[in-house]
Homo-oligomer: A and B are copies of this chain.
Amino acid sequence: MARPTPLSGFPEFLPADRFAEQHVLDHLRRTFELHGFASVETRAVETMDQLLRKGEIDKEVYVLRRLQAAETEGDAGLGLHFDLTVPFARYVLENAGKLEFPFRRYQIQKVWRGERPQEGRFREFAQADIDVVAKDELPFHFDVEIATVMAEALSGLPVPPLRIQVNNRKLLEGFYRGLGVEDTAAVMRVMDKLDKLDEAAIRELLAKEGLDPDQASKCLALAAIRTRDSSFADQVRALGVSHPLLDDGITELAQLVDALAELRLDGVSVTADLRIARGLDYYTGTVFETELEGFEHLGSICSGGRYEKLADDGRNVYPGVGISLGVTRLLVPLVSRGHLTTSRAVPSAVLVALVDEESRPTSNAIAQRLRARGIPTEVAAAPQKFGKQIRYAERRGIPYVWFPATEEAADQVKDIRSGDQADADADTWNPPADDLRPAIITPADSPAHTRGATS
């Protein structure tokens, strides 16, 4: 067989980089569980009618067909999920009678999008989602909780500084209504294009929606407001627009941004940014986006918000609030530019050397004593000269080589980085805690080391 080549859009990691991904996933899981979020894992497939309920995204679905299906059988009626929200909403309805509400869940899984193959578009990627869903009513303090938990999770990651941007759809909707706009959704979709179009183009589109130049100016002025605390409220009110829904939105957003600012998390900043709308999604209140410093071209790597109707089974409505971290989207650019990896390609902290093939049981027994105390250990593959066995460890990044006792000497362990070698007992010796697991490496010249500078 010829050597296979990578498939565009389906990233895979080498072992040392995969440890970095595992480190990130473990940290996320630990944070989510400390806050009482339960793990849910849903099947990779949904029925096509579930997947196509969200009209905008249907072009990106991978449909399944059994290879040996009869000609008449056609597709399996199933497609791969393209996010974790659709499967979660379905899981909630399917199991509503067996879940306790409000229900907090986290879900870390791959999702798939049937994009045309092209550079930088992922066709398979991992997401880490947290959501709280309730029956009929979900108080606003859960919006604060969701944002807090994800901010705390992001803060512990070995990545460049992150900027969480929050806004509130009620604020936008109320502002537009207070302005006298009729089709507020159309205006929101126009304003969502501020990233791509200049002011003149936006004004032109707003005029098409029936806004006069003064109304358009106020929409643009609103979108320009960004503050680190609830002082945005005064700036909004200074625009002279009023509406009860606008007041609601201001109150909620002020509460959220103040609560987040109080956390004073390392490596994460929070801004009330009134430009954020998340135009295509069905959010009804809070909305979130997140930029990675130095990687703004990636777009938002962590987004979400509140849905008044995450799910609905005809008897009950299930409102939800959630946020989704694009794990692959965050990590692949860092790993591929050398901004993130780990110190070794194997979990082993120790390589037990092999004197000769006959003494393999002796080396195995030493390894087993170390493992019994939680020290990842492997035994040399072959009884080569010790110099070669040390190089074997070196190539894998294993920091310690253990030499079994001989007639002349006790067991000895060598730190192959420093060359230090000393007598040791496999029942008591411990490596420094930092050497127990592959260490995260974020090169000094990478943006990861400017963390905290913007907090």
Contacts and interface: CB of A to CB of B under 8 A. Distances in A.
Contacts of A374: 34
Interface stretch (A240-248, A306-314, A442-450): A306-314
Contact of A347 (B11, B37, B45, B61): B37
Interface in A62-110: 62-69, 75-76, 78-80, 90-91, 93-96, 98-100, 102, 104-105, 110
Interface stretch (A156-164, A283-291, A375-383, A399-407): A375-383
A356 to B, nearest CB: 13
Interface string A21-59: 110000000000111111111111101001001000011
Nearest to A53: B1
Interface string A319-357: 000000000000000000000000001111000000001
Interface string A5-21: 11100111111001101
A311 B2 CA distance: 11
Nearest to A62: B64
Could you say which of A11, A41, A90 has the most chain B C-beta atoms within 10 Å of its C-beta? Answer: A41
Contact of A346 (B6, B58, B104): B104
B76 A67 contact: no
A3 interface: yes
A194 to B, nearest CB: 28
Contacts of A139: 381-382
A68 B381 CA distance: 51
B377 A43 contact: no
A36 B90 CA distance: 40
Nearest to A97: B3
A451 interface: no
A64 B67 contact: no
A391 to B, nearest CB: 11
A419 interface: no
Given A35-B376, A64-B62, A124 B45 contact: yes
Contacts of A44: 44, 110, 112, 124
A9 to B, nearest CB: 9
Contacts of A387: none
Contacts of A375: 34
A280 to B, nearest CB: 17
A7 B347 contact: no
B1 A36 contact: no
Interface residues of A, number: 90
A279 interface: no
Looking at A63, A105, A371, the one whose CB has the most chain B CB atoms below 10 A away is A63
Contacts of A60: 67-68
A347 B10 contact: no
Contacts of A69: 114
Contact of A12 (B42, B99, B395): B42
A237 to B, nearest CB: 25
Contact of A395 (B63, B100, B348, B377): B100
A270 to B, nearest CB: 17
A196 interface: no
**A12, A114, A347: residue with the most chain B Cβ atoms closer than 10 Å:** A347
A396 interface: yes
A396 to B, nearest CB: 5
Contact of A36 (B18, B45, B346): B346
Interface string A400-438: 000000000000000000000000000000000000000
Nearest to A367: B35
Given A2-B314, A4-B94, A14-B99, 10 more contacts: A2-B313, A3-B313, A4-B47, A6-B94, A15-B40, A19-B38, A34-B374, A36-B346, A36-B376, A64-B64
For the complex of A and B, the 6 pairs showing the least CB-CB separation, nearest first, are: A36-B378, A66-B114, A36-B348, A10-B43, A33-B347, A15-B38
